[in-house]
Amino acid sequence: MTQIYDFEKNSPPILNERMIEREIEKKRLQRQTALVALAGILIGVVMVMLGFMLFKDYKWLSIICFAYVIISAAGSGVMAVVFNRKGGLLI
């Protein structure tokens, strides 16, 4: 098995409590972000299904549901591009 660090040449990186807490907080924020994104996707799916169910009787309400999904998807795409340009999550 190959070693990651050659301890005779260099010393390993110094870990302190602040660095470990920062990594834990970063992982917690990534998990929360993933859950919020999943919730947004599920809301979009529910709105599309509701739009299809209402199309026969309430066409205007159905159109509003579809418009909401389109606007929400466009906004999510813009936010994804902005976060990607800024280097991900701001921590």
Q: Considering its fold, how many domains does the chain have in total?
A: 1
**Number of continuous H segments (helices) and E segments (strands) in the chain:** 2, 0
Confidence band of 80 (pLDDT split at 50, 70, 90) = confident
Residue-wise pLDDT tens digits, 16-46: 888 889 889 989 988 998 898 899 999 999 9
Conformational region of residue 14, where left means phi above 0, alpha means psi within -120 to 50, and beta covers everything else: beta
Q: Which pLDDT belongs to residue 12?
A: 63
- Tell me whether residue 82 is in a domain: yes
Mean pLDDT of 35-64: 94
Range of the domain at 86: 60-91
- Tell me whether residue 22 is in a domain: no
Q: Supply 88's token pair.
A: 């991900």
- Tell me whether residue 78 is in a domain: yes
Mean pLDDT of 61-75: 95
Mean pLDDT of 87-91: 59
Its pTM stands at 0.68
